[in-house]
Each structure stands twice: as structure tokens, then as C-alpha cells.
């Protein structure tokens, strides 16, 4: 492993718990993926726009980042962590959320 610190990861069970406490969730998939089904409350910031939208990840407490399976969200998390932001990657992503039987919301709005 390189000299950078490891990005914290949580599973979908932990995600459900932190969302119930008001945590911020940001989905870094593409628009069509997001619209076809996302975790309720997730705000869309496609991966390619993350460098221009760093402010979307700023705020009280960590920003939780999700994608389809955890790869793109980890890249976003690493980029943001290098800029001093507190971020947490959702392991398994939206696919793990769906496989666990949890509901998703369709459309272009967070909920």
C-alpha cells in the first residue's frame, strides 16, 4: 500500500443506519444509472464532475460515497481525501444495497 491513508468503508447495513441519522450520501454513477434506481436521499454527482463539484462533498460530518459496486466511489473518495475532506466509501455500492433487499428510488431526484 502507498503512503496515503486508507479510505474508510462501510457496508450497506451500516449505511442504512447512518442515513437514518441524517448522513449525506452522494452517488457518483452516471445520470442514466442514477435515474434507473438509487438509494433514497442520494445526491447525484457523476464521477467525471467530482473535481469541479468538491463543494458538494463538504459539510458537517463525513460524506458517504456510493456507485454501482464500489470502484468509482473509491476513486472519488481517494481524490476527495487527498484534498482533506472526510469521506467514507460504501463497499459493494448500489448493487449490494439492492441485493440486500433494500428499496431504491427511480428518477432524477434524491427521493
Q: Cα separation of 106 and 58, whole Å?
A: 25
CATH superfamily of 9-99: Rhodanese-like domain (3.40.250.10)
Question: Taking residues 11-39, what's their average pLDDT?
Answer: 97
pTM tops 0.75: yes
pLDDT score, position 2: 46
Three-class secondary structure of residue 46 per DSSP: coil
Q: Cα separation of 107 and 32, whole Å?
A: 9
Question: Taking residues 47-63, what's their average pLDDT?
Answer: 96
The pLDDT confidence band at residue 1, using thresholds 50, 70 and 90, is very low
- Give the closest residue to 93 by CA, choosing from 83, 102, 81: 102
Q: Are strands 43-44 and 63-66 parallel, antiparallel or unpaired?
A: unpaired
Radius of gyration for the chain, computed over Cα atoms and rounded to the nearest angstrom: 13
The pLDDT confidence band at residue 4, using thresholds 50, 70 and 90, is low
Amino acid at each position: 500500500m502507498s503512503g496515503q491513508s486508507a479510505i474508510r468503508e462501510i457496508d450497506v447495513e451500516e449505511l442504512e443506519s447512518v442515513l437514518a441519522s441524517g448522513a449525506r450520501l452522494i452517488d457518483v454513477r452516471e445520470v442514466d444509472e442514477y435515474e434507473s434506481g438509487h438509494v433514497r436521499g442520494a445526491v447525484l454527482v457523476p464521477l467525471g464532475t467530482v473535481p469541479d463539484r468538491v463543494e458538494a462533498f463538504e459539510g458537517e460530518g463525513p460524506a458517504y460515497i456510493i456507485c454501482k459496486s464500489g470502484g468509482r466511489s473509491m476513486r472519488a473518495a481517494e481524490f476527495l481525501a487527498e484534498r482533506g475532506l472526510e469521506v467514507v466509501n460504501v463497499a459493494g455500492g448500489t448493487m449490494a444495497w439492492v441485493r440486500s433487499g433494500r428499496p431504491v428510488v427511480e428518477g432524477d431526484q434524491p427521493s
